[in-house]
Every structure is written in structure tokens, then in C-alpha cells.
Structure 1
Amino acid sequence: MHKGKGMKFVGDSRISAERKPNIPKDYSEYPGRTEAFWPNFLLKEWLAGSVFLVGFLCLTLAHPSPLEGMADPTDSGYIPLPDWYFLFLYELLKYDFASGPYILFGIIIIPGLAFGGLLLAPFLDKGPGRRPHRRPVAVGMMLLALTSVIWLTYQSASHVDWESRAEANKPVPPSEQVNIDTDSEGYAVFENNCMSCHGEDLQGGAAGPSLVGIDRSVDEVKDIAQNGTGSMPPGQFSGSDEELNKLAEFIISVNKEE
């Protein structure tokens, strides 16, 4: 310490006692290789995120999400579907290699490998370049994942009539509900053969139309139960002729009471 120079106390020898202004380093000597996080890199990220957000908002306005009607806990014939952002996994389970005896491949192994590969992509491709053609592994895995998700989602959504599902899944107002004798023998036959598609109140569901308000005779109902009609395939009824007759009479009786 020299006289007149003052004293300086430093708690850590690795910290300089001189205060320096918080100014980003000059990266001009490294053109195209690196840049200051603030504000250069952060501004680019914000602009890219803003463009994506605006595009996504425009897409939702032009094509609203395929939502269904309000949930009805009394509809036992309802067939649920996952939300639109999980439809690609739902579609994957329709393929032979990911369903049936290979269901574990569809619900655990294939999704696990896909998401695990995306997590490992930065470690598998350690190239210093930032352009896509200099990162073939990471870019290739991301393009494969993005293409698969878009294609599977499109395939799943294109086979679903969302408007019909929303209309069929609307709760039935109390004023429109019909009185059904659940203790009758015909209802027991209906429960074993028809309820899964037409609902416990005969109001229909996603897999079958309503049986209330139909103008059919007993013989016509019996014929439809055995031979099918429209999208209903034949052979849906499994029972004796006596049970078939009770079923048809029960359905007709419900429509008469209405």
C-alpha cells in the first residue's frame, strides 16, 4: 500500500476490484459463429415465437378445434375419443404392429423411443454448425417426428364426423326423456344386445341412432335387429326368437308411450 493511493479490500481473489460496465462482448471477430444473448439472440427468438403464435391463432379462427357436446353421464353407449392433440397416438393404436398382442409397442415402446430420440438428438448431433444441413441427425429426427404426428392426426380426424358426434352427444333435456320400464323382459334383452350402441335410454349415441320416435312395426324391428340396416351390420342380435319378439315389442311400446 502506497501513501495516498487508498486501500482496496477484496473478498475473493478471483473477483476484480475494478467495476466494469455491463456491456456485451464484441463478437465481430467471430462472424456467423456466435452472438450476444441480449439483445440479438433473444430478439430473434421473440420474433420467431410471435410469428408462430399469430399463425396458430389464425389457424384456430379459420378451423376451430373439433369439440364435442357436453358430457352426459347417463349415456352408457358413448364412445370417447381423445382430444385432438392426442389423436396421433389414438391412430397409432389402429395399426397391426401397435395393437392386439403388440399393444405394448403402441402405448409404451414406440412413443418411448420417439420421445426419447428427440431428447437425445442434441447429444447425438454435436456439430458446431447451426444451419440445418450441418445438423443432419437432429434435423432429420425432428422432421420425421413432425411428419408422423401431422399425418397420423390427419388420418384419425378425417375418419370422424365431428358435427354428428357433437349432435349425438348432446344431453337430452328432461322434457324430451321418455319413461322406460327397466324391469320388463324386453329391456333385459335390449340391455344385452343393443344398449352399447343405442344407449340405456334408447336416445342413441356415437355408434347408433336413437330408437325413440321411429315409425316401425314389430316385424320391421325384428328384421333390422337380425339383418341390419344402413351402417348397422347384420348379426348384431344374439338370442332366441322369443327374445327377439320381446325386444321388438319393447321398442315399439316405448315409441307408443312417447
Structure 2
Amino acid sequence: MHRGKGMKFVGDSRIPAERKPNIPKDYSEYPGKTEAFWPNFLLREWMVGAVFLVGFLCLTVAHPAPLERMADPTDSGYIPLPDWYFLFLYQLLKYEFASGPYTVIGAVVIPGIAFGALLLAPWLDQGPERRPIRRPIASSIMLLAVASVIFLTWESVDQHDWEAAAQQGAIVDFEVDEESYAFEIWTTQQNCINCHGGDMLGGAAAPAVFESDYSKEEVIDIIKNGAPGMPADQFEGTDEELEILAAFIANDGQDPEDD
């Protein structure tokens, strides 16, 4: 364009004499390799995102989040399991080279190298080709990452004790007979209430007193001698009251005389 051609001089500004519509560039010279970001590419991305969003919403309605019993910080035997998208990292921490004194390797070093390699992939292979076979470095990194995630996720799912996990997290409803004399005895035991709650159904410090199938004699022994995480000699009452309360606990919160 020659200097000044097609221009109107307005002071020190130059304004095009004719306003042209904003027409996307012509990509016909590169068929199948590139396209306009707006609206072609972005519209397609929005449509795919909308389909996945509706799918996730349907899943949340059809399969609500599973709820477990109240968390017990004193339960050292609890089998944890993270969400599915963290299972591969969870499995990595089970191996000797990435656990125990080497936890930093499994939690920071290895994931850092893996994600760092994915971030550097565009700079490691800057060729114009888009076919995976023509981009060996980027394709190899991606395939290795996908294979590792799938393998570690599968190992984590395969090694998890699903039956034990379902039992430990099951919510058990107990109907405590609050009219019973045994429950009246319980309300006078402040040491027990502080951990197991006034309703005997547990709290943040201890589980419900009915969660284990103990006999009357076993309950008495635990109350007198204590248990892991539970001190001994916390009951303040007579031996007769202890037997009544132990029978009440062994009978899952119901008066044995009513059975």
C-alpha cells in the first residue's frame, strides 16, 4: 500500500477511508491443520464441555456421594482411600522406594519430575507436525504418563480391601432405650460421656459404645481395665450399676429384661 492511499487525514490521525468487516482469515491453504479460534474452535470446545457437564450432573443425581460414619481420630486401623484421581499417587506411596523415610521422593520428587516433563513437552519437541508418530518425544512422554497413571490406579484398586472398608465405614443406627435405668446410670458417668457422647453414639474422641459385639463380661473388663486409647477405672458407681450398664451396652442399648 502506498503511503497515504486509502486514508483520510484528520489532524495527526489516520482513519481508513472504508471500514471493512472483520472476516476471519482464510485457512484453506492448510486444510485439516488449522482453523479460526473464534468461533470454530471455541464453539466446539464449549459444546464438548457442556456434554461432559450434563453427564457429571446426571451421575451426581443418580449416585450421591457415599457417606460413612463419623470420623474417629483414635481408630488406627482405618483403611483410607483417596478419590479416584489421586489413586495413582496413593499407590506410589506404598512402594519401598517412595515410602517411609523416602516419602519425599514419592510425594514430591517423582510427581514433580512427571508433571515437569509434561510442561516441558512443547519445548522439547517444537516441530510443526501434529501427527503423534512425527512427534516422538512429546508422544513418548504422554504415553509413559498415561500408562503409569493407569497401572498405578489399577494396582491401588486391586490391592484395596473393599469389604473391610465397607464394614468400617458403614453407618449403623442404634435405638437407645433412654427410659431404661441403665441409661440413667450412663448419664451420671461424666468421664464416659466426655468421649462417647451423652447419647452413647460416639463423638470426635471415641466411637459408639455399641459398635463391637462384646459380651457383658468383656464390657466389664474393658471398663475396669481399659483398652487401647481408653484409660482404666473411669466408671464411678457401684459394682451392681456396672453390671447393669455392661448388660445394657452388650444388648446394643436395649434393656435385657425387655427382650
TM-score by length of 2: 0.58
What residue number does 2:253 align with?
none
| SS of match in other structure, 2:40 | helix
Quick check: 2:216–2:247 contact (8 Å CA) kept in 1? no
CA distance in 2, matches of 1:39, 1:142: 29
Measured against aligned partners, the alpha-carbon deviations of 1:135-175 in whole angstroms (never above 9, x if no partner) come to: 2322332232233233323332341345324305x687876
What residue number does 2:91 align with?
91
Quick check: 1:117–1:141 contact (8 Å CA) kept in 2? yes
What residue number does 1:194 align with?
none
Give the 3 Å change call, closer, same or farther, for CA 23–10 of structure 1 in structure 2: farther
Once the two structures are TM-superposed, the CA of residue 112 in structure 1 deviates from its matched residue by 0.9
Once the two structures are TM-superposed, the CA of residue 215 in structure 1 deviates from its matched residue by 3.3
What residue number does 2:166 align with?
163
What residue number does 1:191 align with?
none
| SS of match in other structure, 2:39 | helix
Is 91-100 or 35-44 further displaced after alignment? 35-44
5+ residue gaps, structure 1, are 185-198, 223-235, 238-242, 244-250
Answering whether residue 154 of structure 2 is matched by residue 154 of structure 1, we say: yes
Structure-to-structure mapping, 1:206-221, within 5 angstroms? 210-211=211-212, 213-215=213-215
| SS of match in other structure, 1:19 | coil
1:256 to 247, 253, 256: 247
Once the two structures are TM-superposed, the CA of residue 59 in structure 1 deviates from its matched residue by 6.6
CA distance in 1, matches of 2:61, 2:27: 43
Once the two structures are TM-superposed, the CA of residue 183 in structure 1 deviates from its matched residue by 6.2
What residue number does 1:67 align with?
66
Give the 3 Å change call, closer, same or farther, for CA 143–75 of structure 1 in structure 2: same
| SS of match in other structure, 1:8 | strand
Answering whether residue 9 of structure 2 is matched by residue 8 of structure 1, we say: yes
| SS of match in other structure, 1:164 | helix
Is 22-31 or 135-144 further displaced after alignment? 135-144
CA distance in 2, matches of 1:174, 1:12: 87
5+ residue gaps, structure 2, are 1-5, 193-203, 233-241, 250-259
Kindly tell me the number of residue pairs found equivalent between the two proteins: 214
What residue number does 1:139 align with?
139
CA distance in 2, matches of 1:17, 1:252: 102
Quick check: 1:214–1:255 contact (8 Å CA) kept in 2? no
What residue number does 1:39 align with?
39
TM-score by length of 1: 0.59
Measured against aligned partners, the alpha-carbon deviations of 1:168-199 in whole angstroms (never above 9, x if no partner) come to: 5x6878769x8496869xxxxxxxxxxxxxx9
Q: RMSD over aligned Cα, in angstroms?
A: 4.9
Which of structures 1 and 2 has the larger relative contact order (alpha carbons within 8 angstroms, sep 6+)?
1
Once the two structures are TM-superposed, the CA of residue 106 in structure 1 deviates from its matched residue by 0.9
Give the 3 Å change call, closer, same or farther, for CA 202–142 of structure 1 in structure 2: same
What residue number does 2:75 align with?
77
Give the 3 Å change call, closer, same or farther, for CA 33–200 of structure 1 in structure 2: closer
CA distance in 2, matches of 1:6, 1:32: 38
Structure-to-structure mapping, 1:91-240, within 5 angstroms? 91-158=91-158, 159=160, 160-161=162-163, 162-167=165-170, 179=186, 201=206, 203=208, 210-211=211-212, 213-215=213-215
Quick check: 1:70–1:171 contact (8 Å CA) kept in 2? no
CA distance in 2, matches of 1:113, 1:59: 34
